[in-house]
Structure formats: structure tokens, C-alpha cells
Amino acid sequence: MTTPADLDRLLDGWRGRPTVAVIDLDVLRENVRLFKTLISSTTSLMAVVKADGYGHGSVPIAKAALAAGADELGVATVDEGTRLRDTGIDAPILVLGPIGANERSRALSKRLTLVVSDLGFARGVETDKQMLRLKEPVPVHLKIDTGMRRFGASPEDSVEIATFISASPHLELAAVMTHFAAADDADPAFTLDQTRRFSTVCETIRAAGVTVPQVHLANSAATIRFPDLFRDRVRVGIAMYGLQPGPDIDLPDGVKPVMTLHSRLGRVFSVQPGESVGYGRFWNAAKPTMAGLVPLGYADGYRRHGSDNFWMSVNGRRSPVLGRISMDQTVVEVDARARKGDPVIVVGDGTDGVAPTLNDLATLIDTIPYELATGLVAPRLPHLYVQQGELVAISDASGYREVNPTALG
């Protein structure tokens, strides 16, 4: 495990931009292991690594998750899946989102599994499979829209599509799936409604003589809240990163945030009564105030909406943001002990009792940790990957590179 002393050593040795995201792969692995023990042995765990691993970096996260026991990966786009395949990842990869017809053959040639929700698309997969001269039938997952009203076949169309897939010598109906709209809602009624609708459609498909080998429904919130809904596979995204799927959902014991955000004071200065700080002059000093400049702004995903209530931890002290967060710089209030170069924890893991977590910041600006995490991306914000106290990979302006590839699994 990476200790605070390891982290200090690592950040002291870092010669790049002073503002970095630290991704603790030991924490990620432990989170995956905890979810594996939570689900039954007959349920497989899909690690959802879309949106560049929710901002954490899809390649190292996927490798670490698989090494810790994840069975397969979920992405949103063909590009995301291709990136994983091209780094040598061999595990099954399901493209969860809708894709363009023009991307289909590339997806098949990369052995990405596709989600089908209409007959035209299923026919297109058939044609592409023949064009590519693939020998084996192509596995597809049929997605049913049970109430999300986004992507998926209507319950009425599902039987026809399932029958078509199962009758095709070129396709294999690998699974039938749906996605919950409100699994994080305190009231489980809609989730249970969706589940009932899903079960009814699956029964109708079976009654039409089609074998449904696997079914899957659960995202993070459902995996944490509804053990009855594990079925053949759970698709865990946000909670694997140690972030809450909803404000009222506690993570399982031991699941912790994987990403923390660090910087250093670039300047310490005093602001006198009558002076203001930052664009628009929204904060004015009522008394002499010590200020510290942090080289981080909304272009790094540190959201401008937080100008009024975000804070950081400087030398263990809660340091509120002063004035507007700008594109590349933020000013915080510091105390008289603060010096240029002092370490700043912009986002912590909740253990030091001072630094905010991503969940805290999301709540403050009325958004969800999903949106914040997916905005904190490399290369602008260098990502340092640590494992057993050592730097194992870096993603920054020079690209993604593994310092110690064997350590990643």
C-alpha cells in the first residue's frame, strides 16, 4: 500500500507540472477484490472503464482491475475499446453505448462485443461479419429499454430482434441486458418496476424458443443495494473508483477513492483590505489576508462553479478558495506559516479529515462525482500511477508510459 510518506517522496521526486492526479492502483485493486467478494461466484464482474476510466486513465485501470479479478471490461465507444485492445488487453470488452454503422467492422476486427438494440443494426453486424470473413459467430448483447428511454430496444421489438439473432448463423445472442434509470434513488420502486419489465421480456423471448444464456442489469448502485439483481454479471463503474453512485449510497466497507489531486503553492502573498482577488473582483478582503496561488484551474476540471465554496488542504489547514477559479490558477486563503512550494491537497481520499473528497466537491456544486472525475483528465493534468509505494506509470504531455510494466498485471 502507498503510505503518506511514499506519496511525499513521490511528489518530491516529480519533475513535471506541480499539479497532478495520483492514482493509487493498490486501492483500485482492493476495491475490485471487495466487489468480487460481495458478488456471488456465479456472477462475473465487468469493470466499466469508459470515459478514460472515469478520468482515471483506462489502460492502467483496466490492467489493474483485470489483475485483481475483474472478468471483463465495459467501454462506451469503439475508440475506447480499440485503445485497450491495442495495448494488448485480451479480456472481453463490451461496447455499452450506441455506435455508428461505419464503426461496426472496426469494432468486430478488434474483437469488441457490441450491444444491439434494433434489427437494422443486427443485420449490419451480420453483413460485416461475412465481409471480414470471421469464422465464428459474432457474440452480441441485446439491450432492452425498460424505462431509461435512452438506448435499447422497446420490449415490443425485443422478441423479434432476439429471434433474428438466435436464428442467424453469423450471430450469437450472448446476453440480454438492461440499464437502470434510478438505482441510486432512495425509493426502489422504479428499479423494481424495470426489473419486472425486464424479466417479463426475457420470459417472452424464452417462450418464443430463444435461449437466453445470460442476463445482466446491475450498475454500481444496484450492485451495492440489490444483491437479488446480480444475475450473471454486474457492471461496476463509479464505485470501483471509490466514488459514491448517489449521495445517500454508502460504499461497501473498505472501498476507497482511487484518485487524489495534489499541487504546490506557486506564490504566497498578502491581500490588504480594499483589494480584491481574481476575475470580476468577486472576493474583497475585509482584513489583511494571506493568500496562496495554486496552479490549477477549470481547464484542469477544477470547476469554476466551486469558486464560492471549494476549499483545499494546505499544511493540514482548511484553505477556502478566494475569488473566481480561473482557467489555470486558483487562489486560496493560507495562514502565516505557508511558504511557496508547500504541498496542497486539492482532492483527498477522506482520511486526513481536512481535504475535500470528490464526493464533497460534487455535492457543493450540485453535480455528481461522475462528472467531476471524468473532467480531471491527462495529459493536461499529469496522472501518476502508484503501486506498493512506487511510481509504475505516468500519463502526461509526453503520452502514457509504464515505468514498470510488469507491476501493472
Ligand X SMILES: Cc1ncc(COP(=O)(O)O)c(C=O)c1O
- Residues at the site binding ligand X, with contacts judged by CB under 6 A: 48, 96, 179, 219-221, 235-239, 245
Cell of residue 58, nine digits: 483506462
Neighbouring residues of 16: CB distance < 8 A, sequence distance ≥ 6: 382, 394, 396
Q: How far is CA 268 from the centre of its chain?
A: 35
Torsion of CA 314, 318, 323, 324, to 10 degrees: 80
Query: Which H helix or E strand runs over 333?
Result: strand 330-333
CB of 245 to ligand X, least distance (A): 5
Q: How far apart, in whole angstroms, are the C-alpha atoms of residue 51 and residue 30?
A: 22
Q: In which residue are the cell numbers 495534489 written?
A: 262
Please tell me which residue in 63, 279, 302, 340 is annotated as part of the active site. 279
SS3 state at 298: helix
How is 340-392 classified by DSSP, letter by letter? TT-EEEEE--SSSSSSPPHHHHHHHTT--HHHHHHHS-TTTS-EEEEETTEEE
CB of 140 to ligand X, least distance (A): 14
- b/e for 270-292, b at 16 or more Cβ within 10 A? ebeeeeebbeeeebebeeebbbb
Compute the C-alpha angle 330/244/60, nearest 5°: 75
Backbone angles phi, psi at 11, to 5 degrees: -70, -35
Q: How far apart, in whole angstroms, are the C-alpha atoms of residue 396 and residue 9?
A: 19
Q: For ligand X, which is the closer residue by CB, 51 or 345?
A: 51
Q: For ligand X, which is the closer residue by CB, 51 or 125?
A: 51
Q: For ligand X, which is the closer residue by CB, 246 or 295?
A: 246
CB of 197 to ligand X, least distance (A): 16
Q: Which residue is nearest to ligand X (CB)?
A: 237
Cell of residue 368, nine digits: 455528481
Q: Report the relative pairing of strands 330-333 and 390-396 from DSSP bridges.
A: unpaired
Q: For ligand X, which is the closer residue by CB, 50 or 129?
A: 50
CB of 48 to ligand X, least distance (A): 4
DSSP state of 102: G
Q: For ligand X, which is the closer residue by CB, 186 or 397?
A: 186
CB of 89 to ligand X, least distance (A): 19
Question: For this structure, is 54 an active site residue?
Answer: no
CB of 246 to ligand X, least distance (A): 9
CB of 337 to ligand X, least distance (A): 40
Q: For ligand X, which is the closer residue by CB, 80 or 126?
A: 80
Question: For this structure, is 279 an active site residue?
Answer: yes
Q: For ligand X, which is the closer residue by CB, 239 or 322?
A: 239
Name the residue among 85, 80, 122 with its Cα closest to residue 101: 122
The catalytic residues are 50, 279
